[in-house]
Structure 1
Amino acid sequence: MFGVVVAGRLVQTDYKQVTANQFLFNIVDADSINHVVVFLTGQTPFPEGFGGAVYFAWPSVMGQNWILLGHITNIKPSAIFKVSKLKSTDSSLNPFQTMANQPTDIAQIGISVDPLAELSQQMPATSAAVSNLEPFVEFSKKMVENLFNFVSSFSSQLPLSPTETYIPSSVLHKWYDNFIRKMQQDPYFWRS
Structure 2
Amino acid sequence: MFGCILAGQPVQTEFERVSETDFVLRLNQLEPSFLTVFLTGQELLPEGAAVSIYISIPSDGEDQWHFLGFISNEKQSGTFKITNLKRIAAQGGTGGNGNQFGNFRGPQVGLSLKPLAEVAGFTPAVSTDTSTLVTRIAESIYNYCTSFVTGDGGSVPLATIEAWFRNTQQRLERNPNHFR
TM (norm. structure 1) is: 0.62
Q: In the aligned structure 1, how far is the partner of 2:62 from the partner of 2:101?
A: 10
Read off the aligned partner of 2:95 and give its amino acid letter: S
Paired residues for 1:136-151 under 5 Å: 140-141=140-141
Whether the 8 Å CA contact 2:56–2:63 is kept in 1: the answer is yes
Report percent identity of matched pairs: 34
Q: Does 1:50 align with 2:36?
A: no
Deviation string 1:13-57 (CA, Å, 9 cap, x unpaired) is 011000000000111122x13100000000011111111000011
Moved over 3 A (4+): 137-144
| Unpaired runs of at least 5, structure 1 | 145-168, 170-190
Deviation string 1:106-144 (CA, Å, 9 cap, x unpaired) is 31010000011211221112437xxxx9xxx88644758
| Structure with higher strand content | 1
Q: In the aligned structure 1, how far is the partner of 2:142 from the partner of 2:85?
A: 22
Task: Give the direction of change, closer, same or farther, for the CA distance of 1:140–1:42 in structure 2 (3 Å limit).
Answer: same
Read off the aligned partner of 2:34 and give its amino acid letter: H
Q: In the aligned structure 2, how far is the partner of 1:61 from the partner of 1:90?
A: 10
Task: Name the residue aligned to 2:155.
Answer: none
Whether the 8 Å CA contact 2:84–2:126 is kept in 1: the answer is no
Read off the aligned partner of 1:94 and give its amino acid letter: G
Structure whose alpha-carbon radius of gyration is higher: 1
Count of residue pairs brought into register by the alignment? 135
Deviation string 1:149-178 (CA, Å, 9 cap, x unpaired) is xxxxxxxxxxxxxxxxxxxx9xxxxxxxxx
